[in-house]
Amino acid sequence: MTALPFDNSYARLPERFYARRPPTPVAAPRLVRLNRALAAELGLDPDWLAGPDGVAALAGNAVPEGADPIAAAYAGHQFGQFVPQLGDGRAVLLGEVLDRTGQRRDIQLKGAGPTPFSRRGDGRAALGPVLREYLVSEAMAALGIPTTRALAAVTTGEPVVRETLLPGAVLTRVAASHIRVGTFQFFAVRGDVEGLRALADHVVARHYPEAASAANPYRALLEGVIAAQAELVARWLHVGFVHGVMNTDNMSIAGETIDYGPCAFLDAYDPGTVFSSIDRNGRYAYGQQPRIALWNLTRLAETLLPLLAEDEAGSVAEAEAALASYAARFETAYHGGLARKLGLAETRDGDAALAGDLLKRMAENRADFTLTFRTLCAAAERPEADAGVRDLFVDPTAYDAWAKDWRGRLAQEARDPAETAAAMRRVNPAFIPRNHRVEAMIEAAVERGDFAPFETLLTVLSRPYADQPDQAAFAMAPEDGGVGYRTFCGT
């Protein structure tokens, strides 16, 4: 078998960090999709990956030379309840490669069979969730949002048993790393300070090398993760993304979006929107995501207390000081992004209130989130295009009252209207993974073996900021505004 250029740093950590476990072979692997551009970015040979030996590796039927398959150990708070041992129950990290820029990237098989962390599960993945994660993670990458990536999707030729029999599949996921807040919690709950220190040193070297030279490297590490997460969640809000399961084991230390289970995107704007069928109390609603990110980061800070100072009082002071930076970092990222979405290049007093007023009026009038901001691009250039925005509001006069203030603010900008509109189109997508389109794609693949909708949607979403007039139907909201839409975790 052709060797992949593995260099497996995590597998060189102490063995209590993981369980060595090869993927479990499947009956009849078939390649559904290979991300050739990503393969080339990773320095891999797309033609080899698409061939028999490559598909065998992507399905878990063969372990490539240089791989060191492991299932990582971690803990986590799930909907606020702490579970001291979770771990990779259906995923196997094949190893790490250095991409063409020298960045270290994990290559993981998701749905690769049972591991010691499977908790009586089968360790497999159904086709629907695999296609959802492939599509949405690649859409997020095209939107410019830090995310894990999808290298390949392979069907297994075997059914998985959920509420019914479903076709099985394996996703090959690429990540800066799969280290989570829950990874730190795994060692903290066991009082394993040596393990915590080894993990923290590994994360500093891999993700935050500048922290190594700081006066307090572990506080600098915490501050780095806080900054990355504040920026990430702000970007989620800018495109109407709802993660759905922001458990601490689903928060990446690297600042990437990870684990696309019951995720979805807003249609009609409502900050209280919840999609996940198991989020009965709205813990992970769209508008709650910034607060939950801080809650998760506080749990991370708690794990680092033994490393932050010599005594408990000093450690708590260091942690609190670091966490105090979150609010300002998030607000700066969030309001800065909203200002750009409204065509404002200069920062002025009142900009945050102007954006907040629009969002309030959108919520009251069930205006579609993505369409409102995209249609505003034309309105910034041509006032007669206001008609398109007004049509999105139950009461069009609610937009009129706001638009007067908006145009007054735009008049203070140095750019001409055409430049403003062009800048707005670069940050306001025309195309997102509309929930009804994602569901239709999954149904076609699962029920009829038809992957054409998947390929079409993937192509459209690869250029989210382009108008694509021939694909305009994919930009439209569902007729019912997405009311009552629910997602499921897919495990």
Q: Catalytic residue numbers? A: 249
Which residues 6+ apart lie within 8 Å of 225 measured at CB? 208, 253, 255, 297, 300
Return d(Cα 431, Cα 237) in angstroms, integer: 15
User: Is 89 assigned a ligand-binding role in the annotation?
Assistant: yes
Is the CB of residue 69 less than 8 Å from the CB of residue 94?
yes
User: Is 110 assigned a ligand-binding role in the annotation?
Assistant: yes
User: Is 122 assigned a ligand-binding role in the annotation?
Assistant: yes
Query: Tokens at residue 132, please?
Result: 């959802």
Which residues 6+ apart lie within 8 Å of 21 measured at CB? 69, 70, 71, 92, 115, 116
Per DSSP, the residues of 40-108 read HHTT--HHHHHSHHHHHHHHTSSPPTT---EEE---EEETTEEES----SSEEEEEEEE-TTS-EEEEE
Amino acid at position 339, single letter: A
User: Is 404 assigned a ligand-binding role in the annotation?
Assistant: no
120: alpha, beta or left? (left if phi > 0; alpha if psi -120 to 50): left
User: Is 87 assigned a ligand-binding role in the annotation?
Assistant: yes
Q: Which residue, 305, 107, 119, 332, is CA-closest to 219? A: 305
Amino acid at position 343, single letter: G
User: Is 247 assigned a ligand-binding role in the annotation?
Assistant: no
User: Is 30 assigned a ligand-binding role in the annotation?
Assistant: no
Return d(Cα 381, Cα 130) in angstroms, integer: 41
Q: What is the DSSP letter of 427?
A: T
158: alpha, beta or left? (left if phi > 0; alpha if psi -120 to 50): beta
Q: Which residue, 377, 398, 359, is CA-closest to 388? A: 377
Binding residues: 87, 89-90, 110, 122-123, 173, 180, 250, 259
Binding residues for Mg(2+): 250, 259
Binding residues for ATP: 87, 89-90, 110, 122-123, 173, 180, 259
